[in-house]
Structure 1
Amino acid sequence: MTDLKNFEIWFVTGSQHLYGEETLKNVARHTEEIAKALDASEHIPVQVKYKGVVTTSDQIFKVCEQVNNEPKCIGMVAWMHTFSPAKMWISGLQVLRKPMAHFHTQFNDEIPWSEIDMDFMNENQSAHGGREFGFMVSRLRKNRKVIVGHWKNEECRKQLGNWSRVAAGWHAFQNLKVARIGDNMRNVAVTEGDKVEAQMRFGFQVNTWGIGDVVAFVNQVSDAEVEKLVKTYSDEYEITSEVLKSQSLRDSARIELGLRAFLEDGGFGAFTDTFEDLHGMKQLPGIAAQRLMADGYGFAGEGDWKTSALVYASKVMAQGLKGGTSFMEDYTYDFRKDRSRVLGSHMLEICPTIAEGSVRCEVHPLGIGGKEDPARLVFTAGAGPAVNAALMDMGNRFRLLVNEVDAVKPDQELPKLPVASVLWDPKPNLEIAAQTWILAGGAHHTVYSRAINTQFFEDFADMADIELLVIDEDTKVRSFKDNLRWNEVYYHLF
């Protein structure tokens, strides 16, 4: 996973020659000062590059082409310091393929009441220059992020920083290779989808690889490498002497090493597997999938390549943020009179980045699949605001569905549960959240994250130009059903 500091967003300012060379010099000086301040901000994890002031159609077209063609550049930030006649922007915006944020700010914060004159007014026209630019972007039907406020304001810097994280996730999404190890879980619908359309829409590649391709790497792992990894397990997790001595743990370690080598050799950033297709492997990868996710790989079970890809993009966005991000599944309900809740888990593969407290390495029977007992990391996730997000192929479009939740501490211990888990309270409540999720065709697999929130996924949907539905504290079933109907009309027409 590429470090966010290796990415750049380009800061470009619009103006025109009408105001004279002295004004343009001030515009350039102000722009450079703002770009340097944003680049130094702790809230913006990527580099912010000053790319000058554009005053003609040719300059604008050239810089937009450069944004497209520079591999490190993941998006452009546009600011109108003065009035920049927007017809100049048409050709550039038409070719711009990377995400854009419109920063509607101005150099000064407060009005200099006793000194303001016409020279000041001519130089500081962001208030209406930004509206002229906004009209043209809307007329061109281009999605973008609009951030309003002074550039020194911490909230504005946070918004820009989060947008830059999403731009990095979108960039990673477009350049991702997903290894679908084996095929889909038999007869399951939602984990399927149009992989050709996905590559056309999102850029990432999904191809199937035989189990034997992975097994070949597993068989090349030496006993010394296995023992070294077992020692790592012992150092990093709580583990009993019985498990530490077991052959099952060594088989799990060998699978992790082989699977990691396979992914590195193929340049994959995400992968799937399924317990129905494990010929040649002793176990379903458990601790392997968990630790690979913790290192930034995308993963989803049962051949679910869409969720695997979304896990990867989410982990790119969440770099350096607290709370963790994981593959997840709504597993069972806790129906109660006061407030019903959901226990989220999976057979094995929950990422330890969401853990709070001790993480135990254990070996238990899987109960399905007919393979040997796999090792896995067992823990309980931390409490706090979180989201569940799912990506579905609806036939004529992709739909991104988000439910805001509050993770809570379980009321009681779970001494017999042999997998990692998290208990959450969906917004607005379980009954409405589950009803609207089902009405939207929401998948049973999700990306669960306490590190990123709904706004990240909203910006991501804008960049990908796909449908977004949000279930939150304000969701009402009737209005949600109306949104579904209106969206069907929109996507039928467009």
Structure 2
Amino acid sequence: MATPPVPPRPLPAPRPRIGLLGIMQPLYDAMLPGITDHQAEYAHRVARHLSDTADWTVAPPVRGREDAERAVRDLENAGVDGVLVVMLTYGPSLRVTGALTRTRLPLALANIQPDPSVTAEWDMADMTYNQGIHGAQDTANALVRAERRFDVITGDWQSPGFAERIDRWARAARAATALRGLRVGVFGYPMNGMGDARVDETALLRALGPEIEVIAPGALHRATLDLGEKEVAELLAWEDEAFEVDPRLSAKERDDHARMQLGIERLLTERGCHAYSTHFDAIGEDGRFDRLPMAAASTLMAQGYGFAGEGDVLAATVVRAGHVLAGDAHFTEMYAMDFPSDSILMSHMGEGNWRIARGDEPLRLIKRPLDIGGLADPPTVLFRYRPGPATLASLVALGGERFRLVVSEGEVLDAPPLPSLEMPYGQYRPDTGVRDCTEGWLRAGGTHHMALHTGHRAADWRALCDITGIEYVRV
């Protein structure tokens, strides 16, 4: 299978940064001199063992309220994405409740102990070292009573299954942090009359964090004019290597497309946006553009930007969250149902993340007629989705600060090609079948724009919902 080309300037994809907060108390010092150092080393062993899942910052053992306040404050200042609480011994909950309920960082309780099994050789020291579970119970009770969201991860900390769950939670914590700092650029204005993409932007900001940055089409026009010939030439040379380029594309068409892509990227970088949306009418009615930036959206998505068409901030947000959560999210919509194969044809006007393309066919940059927008033919990256497990996710605004994520798992079929379809596409078969999936989607208010991932990612999306308070609905 061919390896997808590396995008020209991928966005940084930082690993999760997680703080480990170990809790104990001075009660056992006289009975077991050196217990604090002993259990501190245990905390560091846990972090070292989990080093493949995240970059870890291990706080000094918390033995009292002042320790807890200082440790949580230091972890916040260190910029961690979440805090994993580990009971090093029993620790009374009231000494840590204040610090844990005030922090905005995602929390998880690791219900673990140093030794995986109770043996005949255990003495009172071993009992003390391994008694974390009732400290976890005490602390969890306090968090529940405070209505503070948290996750619980139980198991042998040296097992692959435990590492897998920590990895999922850490990635979800990283995605939640990314949402809190996300800025979504909207070029022009959203599509008139399209209701499921509309959202109260102040409620979105308060509940999840994304901020909307409106960017005038004139700013994009000026950005395309300010580009140097070297930048354009470098992008075109990269495309020549990455894509099978349609010989019908003229030098003028490719130059124009490249300038729009680079102009969008420059504005997103200058304004700190990691997601964006364009609307064909906003581009077409401006009067200064020859064509729509279709290929631009495909490569910018492949670089890690969230994207959605028609000014859809919600979909752009969920695509960016998907990039951070699991990598290579793709913008799409349900175009038509195919009942004989129990599948749904997925596509959009011409935008698609070519990182999810099947590897046995070339990525093609084609000259493609498109009447929408009333402009000239937009160069478009054409590919079919890679067959195999897949997941759909839709972010729904329910009013006020209530949001819902509608999720479906299934597979992309190895279906026959559709030769006349000149845009990225694939046929998705839901695990629950077309009828139950689409009926559930409609009843839950799932939107018509969504993110698609290769792989089964429902558990990842659920972890993000648990952290952020988004309602999770699987159909």
Within 1, Cα distance between the matches of 2:19 and 2:407? 30
Within 2, Cα distance between the matches of 1:331 and 1:26? 60
How far off is 1:26 after superposition? 1.8
The residue aligned with 2:353 is 351
How far off is 1:68 after superposition? 2.6
Tell me if 1:97 matches 2:107: no
The residue aligned with 1:15 is 24
Within 1, Cα distance between the matches of 2:66 and 2:76? 15
Which of residues 364, 367, 370 is equivalent to 1:366? 370
Conserved 8 A contact 2:334-2:346: yes
Conserved 8 A contact 1:385-1:450: yes
Within 1, Cα distance between the matches of 2:228 and 2:104? 47
**In the alignment, residue 243 of structure 2 is paired with which amino acid?**
Y
The residue aligned with 2:3 is none
SS at match of 2:344: strand
Which of residues 320, 323, 337 is equivalent to 1:315? 323
How far off is 1:27 after superposition? 1.3
How far off is 1:67 after superposition? 2.6
- In structure 2, relative to structure 1, the CA distance for the partners of 1:99 and 1:452 (3 Å cut) is farther
SS at match of 1:277: helix
TM-score, normalised relative to structure 2: 0.93
How far off is 1:246 after superposition? 4.4
Which of residues 207, 210, 213 is equivalent to 2:219? 213
The residue aligned with 1:74 is 81
Which of residues 395, 398, 423 is equivalent to 1:394? 398
Within 2, Cα distance between the matches of 1:240 and 1:121? 71
The residue aligned with 1:261 is 266
The residue aligned with 2:239 is 233
The residue aligned with 2:14 is 4
Within 1, Cα distance between the matches of 2:36 and 2:260? 62
The residue aligned with 2:210 is 204
How far off is 1:223 after superposition? 4.1
How far off is 1:63 after superposition? 1.5
The residue aligned with 2:460 is 456
Which of residues 426, 429, 432 is equivalent to 2:433? 429
Tell me if 1:47 matches 2:51: no
The residue aligned with 2:293 is 285
Within 2, Cα distance between the matches of 1:287 and 1:452? 27
The residue aligned with 1:88 is 95
The residue aligned with 2:115 is 108
Within 1, Cα distance between the matches of 2:456 and 2:323? 9
Gaps of 5+ in 1: 472-494
How far off is 1:442 after superposition? 0.7
Cα RMSD over matched residues? Answer: 1.6
**In the alignment, residue 110 of structure 2 is paired with which amino acid?**
F
Conserved 8 A contact 1:272-1:300: yes
Tell me if 1:340 matches 2:342: yes
Gaps of 5+ in 2: 1-10
How far off is 1:452 after superposition? 6.3
Within 1, Cα distance between the matches of 2:450 and 2:161? 29
**In the alignment, residue 407 of structure 2 is paired with which amino acid?**
V
Conserved 8 A contact 2:17-2:174: no
Post-superposition Cα deviations, 1:5-34, rounded to whole Å, max 9, x if no partner, equal 4x5211111111111143223211211222
Post-superposition Cα deviations, 1:264-299, rounded to whole Å, max 9, x if no partner, equal 122211110111111122111111011001001111
How far off is 1:447 after superposition? 0.9
- In structure 2, relative to structure 1, the CA distance for the partners of 1:88 and 1:235 (3 Å cut) is same
Conserved 8 A contact 1:380-1:420: yes
How far off is 1:345 after superposition? 0.5
Which of residues 29, 50, 53 is equivalent to 2:41? 29
SS at match of 1:34: helix
- The higher relative CO (CA closer than 8 Å, separation ≥ 6) is in 2
How far off is 1:224 after superposition? 4.4
Conserved 8 A contact 2:111-2:155: yes
Conserved 8 A contact 1:318-1:451: no
**In the alignment, residue 14 of structure 1 is paired with which amino acid?**
I
SS at match of 2:236: helix
Conserved 8 A contact 2:246-2:367: no
Post-superposition Cα deviations, 1:394-417, rounded to whole Å, max 9, x if no partner, equal 11311111111211111x221111
Conserved 8 A contact 2:465-2:472: yes
Within 2, Cα distance between the matches of 1:300 and 1:406? 22
SS at match of 2:81: strand
Within 2, Cα distance between the matches of 1:169 and 1:353? 20
The residue aligned with 1:491 is none
SS at match of 2:113: coil
Within 1, Cα distance between the matches of 2:314 and 2:417? 33
SS at match of 1:4: coil
Post-superposition Cα deviations, 1:332-362, rounded to whole Å, max 9, x if no partner, equal 11122xx421011100111101101321110
Post-superposition Cα deviations, 1:285-314, rounded to whole Å, max 9, x if no partner, equal 111011001001111000101111121121
Post-superposition Cα deviations, 1:414-444, rounded to whole Å, max 9, x if no partner, equal 1111001121101211001100110111100
Conserved 8 A contact 2:180-2:209: yes
Aligned residues: 456
